Amino acid sequence: MSAAITPPAPATPHPREETPFRRFVSEFAESKLALLGLGVFVLIALAAIFAPWITPQNPYDLAQLDIMDGRLPPGSVSGAGYTYLLGTDDQGRDMFSGMLYGLRISLLVGVGSALFAAVVGTTLGLLAAFFGRRIDTVIMRLVDLQLSFPSILVALMILAGLGKGVMNVVLALVIVEWAYYARTVRATAMVERRREYIEAAQCLALPWRRIMFHHLLPNCLPPLIVIATQQVARAIALEATLSFLGLGVPITEPSLGLLIANGYQYMLSGKYWISFYPGIALLVTIISINLVGDQLRDVLNPRLTR
Amino acid sequence: MLTWLVRRLIQALFVVLAMTVIVFIGVHIIGNPVDILISPEADQAERARIIANLGLDQPLWRQYLVFLNGALHGDLGRSFVFNEPALKLIAGRMPATMELAVTAVLMSVVIGVPLGLYAGLKPNGLLGRTIMAGSILGFSLPTFWVGLMLIMVFAVQLGWLPSTGRGQTAALFGVQWSFLTWDGLRHMAMPALNLSLFNISLVLRLTRAGVRETLPMDFIKFARAKGLSPARVIFVHVLKNIMIPVVTVVGLELGSTIAFAVVTESVFAWPGMGKLIIDSINVLDRPVIVAYLMMIVLLFITINLLVDILYTMLDPRVRLETKG
């Protein structure tokens, strides 16, 4: 997706020449907080991707777990010789390892569902704006209906039907989120489709699919990118909530939310670390994405004269 | 207007009907409740008898018709687990949820309006900016996480407040309420705050935006020029103007607050409808799941319908549009 907004910077002899992309980068970099958010998020993503090489143990390989090491506080030394940086859970699982593996699931579900919803929502939004009339009415009615229910309720309804599972959660999140994309894209596309370049493309008798995806879509990207960033954070938070309630991912593929739920019962007896550190990881992930999203909104919003 | 209303009502009815189909079929896809409810030791005849008793041997469409017929008579089936009418079960848990949700909504006004007022009057001050930054956190932090932190700090570390349950209740109109006893209030403090965090942020931002919009207006300048005290200008003239959108939004948010109580109730083991539905989903108590979902869908459709009607009556532009 990012490839679509970052035209390859031409190798010009004048390094200061302003291209839209350079202007975008420099405007984004104006906020140190957003840069910090981006840096933290990249770090988190890298840690999640390379988790098998960073973590001292594979938390789901039962042969590596020692139940005797259960519920050790942070800093304890394991039987195998390494230190449990963030302590262990009730199964004797290293929390640091468990957290990075959980982060993988959380990010996968969050980013995956947001992208999937973006594809569905964008397509429907473009269709509604491009064809108008009946199609527009039907799609937007559906959007209105869905947005009148809170997201948690829609997700609850779907998961009550489908049961637990990573794919089920992704599906539930896609159904919850597509409407936001559809509404945003439609609003932008309605304005764009009255422009001359669309008229020109129509005069050339280009097929409607080509006009929609090659001419209309690229010009609807800025608000789409903003919404997508916000929706990733929302998806991660909602997934964590659903998993915490025991409706989300199964116990064999625990995300951060499920890790927090597992440690919840021990928190009242003062063993805070089982819940606390996955919670901090969740928090930092969500906040860093939101910081980036806020700055993107400010930079890409055409209404703010800069 | 009447045609519009009738059309709108039929639409709502159609949505309700569609929802019953979706909810019913959806809930019947999950695992077989027979395996859960009947002990493995039961023999074949016993199994068949229980299945027939629960009506689970009928084809799906017939089960649906039976369900729809029952729903029209206010009977949404009996809970498999509690062996009680599902609707009665939910109605019994409803006061706990309502009292939590209403308290949370009231708290959002009591806390959100003053904070928003301050942030609006001093937008560039340190405190004003801190309040705004805090409101972003209120929007983006998952509710359950904040709930856990509240428990960790106020229940485990400091030991000030109890972490779970409703505490002592007192009866009013034949229903048990927590807000009537000191112990109940202590139990309610954390869940209500937790549930209201999102609304506090919302109210705070609305109030701030309203103040920023209202302050440069002529009638405020006039009130100042008249020599009214700054306090009177702010608390009477400014506040009166921004309360209309705030109250509208808060009223609309009551429905969402009831829905989101699912999370808060699970964290604080608050015995309301939300906790009941999560427990029911986990043990596949279908009639309760269906009854809860139907009830809350009905609630939302009613709220949306009322809002539409109110807007039509209040805003002549909407009225003209529907006529033309």
Asked if the Cβ–Cβ distance from B148 to A267 is below 8 Å, we say: yes
Interface check for B31 against chain A (CB to CB < 8 A): the answer is: yes
Interface check for A260 against chain B (CB to CB < 8 A): the answer is: yes
pLDDT at B323: 46
Asked if the Cβ–Cβ distance from B144 to A276 is below 8 Å, we say: no
Q: How buried is A63 (Cβ within 10 angstroms: 0-12 exposed, 13-18 middle, 19+ buried)? A: exposed
| Contact criterion met (CB below 8 Å) for B276 and B90 | yes
| CATH number of the structural domain A93-297 | 1.10.3720.10
Question: Which chain B residues are Cβ-neighbours of A157 within 8 angstroms?
Answer: 22-23, 26, 293
B78 DSSP β-pair partners: B85
Mutate to test the interface with B, among A31, A156, A169 (most CBs of B within 10 A): A156
How many C-beta atoms surround the C-beta of residue A88 within 10 A?
A: 29
Nearest-by-Cβ selection for A160 from B27, B136, B256 = B27
DSSP 8-state assignment for residue A8: P
Interface check for B18 against chain A (CB to CB < 8 A): the answer is: no
Interface check for A116 against chain B (CB to CB < 8 A): the answer is: no
* Helices and strands counted in chain A (H then E): 14, 2
Contacts of A101 (CB under 8 A, 6+ apart): A51, A55, A58, A59, A60, A254
3-state helix, strand, coil in chain B (%, to 5): 75, 0, 20
Cα(first)–Cα(last) distance of chain A, in Å? 25
Look up residue A238 and give its two tokens.
């909602």
**Residue in chain B nearest A287 by alpha carbon:** B140
Asked if the Cβ–Cβ distance from A244 to B15 is below 8 Å, we say: no
**CB pairs A-B closer than 8 Å:** 105
Which residue, among B118, B108, B134, has the nearest Cα to B252 in the 3D structure?
Answer: B108
Question: A148 phi and psi, to 5 degrees?
Answer: -80, -10
Asked if the Cβ–Cβ distance from A290 to B136 is below 8 Å, we say: yes
Which residue, among A192, A41, A153, has the nearest Cα to A107 in the 3D structure?
Answer: A41
pTM: 0.81
Containing B99, the helix (H) or strand (E) segment is: helix B86-121
**Per-domain residue ranges of chain A:** 93-297
All domains of chain B, ordered by start, with CATH?
Answer: 86-323 (1.10.3720.10)
What is the rounded CA–CA span in Å between residue B276 and residue B194?
Answer: 19
Which residue, among B299, B290, B252, B291, has the nearest Cα to B12 in the 3D structure?
Answer: B299
**Residue in chain B nearest A290 by alpha carbon:** B140
Interface check for B163 against chain A (CB to CB < 8 A): the answer is: yes
What is the rounded CA–CA span in Å between residue A20 and residue B115?
Answer: 40
Question: Which chain A residues are Cβ-neighbours of B302 within 8 angstroms?
Answer: none
- Residue by residue, pLDDT tens for chain B (324 residues) are 677 778 878 888 888 888 777 777 766 655 555 665 666 666 777 777 777 776 666 777 777 777 778 777 777 777 777 778 888 888 888 888 888 888 998 898 899 888 888 888 887 878 888 888 888 888 888 888 888 888 888 877 777 777 777 766 666 676 677 666 777 777 788 888 888 888 898 888 888 888 888 888 888 888 888 888 878 887 877 887 787 778 777 877 888 888 888 888 888 888 888 888 888 888 777 778 888 888 888 888 888 778 777 777 666 665 555 543
Nearest-by-Cβ selection for A150 from B145, B148, B260 = B260
Interface check for B282 against chain A (CB to CB < 8 A): the answer is: yes
pLDDT at A68: 62
3-class secondary structure, A82: coil
Cα(first)–Cα(last) distance of chain B, in Å? 11
Interface check for B154 against chain A (CB to CB < 8 A): the answer is: no
Nearest-by-Cβ selection for A245 from B25, B27, B266 = B266
Nearest-by-Cβ selection for A279 from B15, B148, B266 = B148
- Strand runs (DSSP E) across chain A, as ranges? 76-77, 83-84
3-class secondary structure, B177: strand
pLDDT at A120: 92
- Provide the CA B34 distance to its chain's centre, in angstroms: 32
pLDDT at A80: 62
pLDDT at B324: 39
* Helices and strands counted in chain B (H then E): 14, 2
| Contact criterion met (CB below 8 Å) for B290 and B27 | yes
Q: Burial letters for B53-76: b for 16+ Cβ neighbours within 10 Å, e otherwise?
A: ebebeeeeeebbeebeebbeeebb
- Angle (CA) B113 B114 B116, round 5°: 65
Pairing label, strands A76-77, A83-84: antiparallel
pLDDT at A2: 45
What is the nearest CA distance from A193 to chain B, expressed in angstroms?
A: 24
What is the rounded CA–CA span in Å between residue B128 and residue A92?
Answer: 46
Mutate to test the interface with A, among B136, B144, B275, B305 (most CBs of A within 10 A): B144
Question: Which chain A residues are Cβ-neighbours of B141 within 8 angstroms?
Answer: 237, 283, 286
Containing B172, the helix (H) or strand (E) segment is: strand B170-172
Question: Which chain A residues are Cβ-neighbours of B163 within 8 angstroms?
Answer: 268
What is the nearest CA distance from B237 to chain A, expressed in angstroms?
A: 30
Which parts of chain A have pLDDT scores under 70? 1-17, 56, 61-87, 89-92, 270, 302-306
What is the nearest CA distance from B173 to chain A, expressed in angstroms?
A: 30
Interface check for A273 against chain B (CB to CB < 8 A): the answer is: no
Question: Which chain A residues are Cβ-neighbours of B33 within 8 angstroms?
Answer: none
Which residue, among B10, B168, B194, has the nearest Cα to B107 in the 3D structure?
Answer: B194
pLDDT at A117: 92
What is the rounded CA–CA span in Å between residue B265 and residue B61?
Answer: 34
Interface check for A7 against chain B (CB to CB < 8 A): the answer is: no
| Contact criterion met (CB below 8 Å) for A139 and A182 | yes
Interface check for B58 against chain A (CB to CB < 8 A): the answer is: no
Interface check for A235 against chain B (CB to CB < 8 A): the answer is: no
pLDDT at A135: 85
pLDDT at A113: 92
Nearest-by-Cβ selection for B30 from A145, A163, A294 = A163
Nearest-by-Cβ selection for A260 from B23, B148, B256 = B148
Asked if the Cβ–Cβ distance from B256 to A150 is below 8 Å, we say: yes
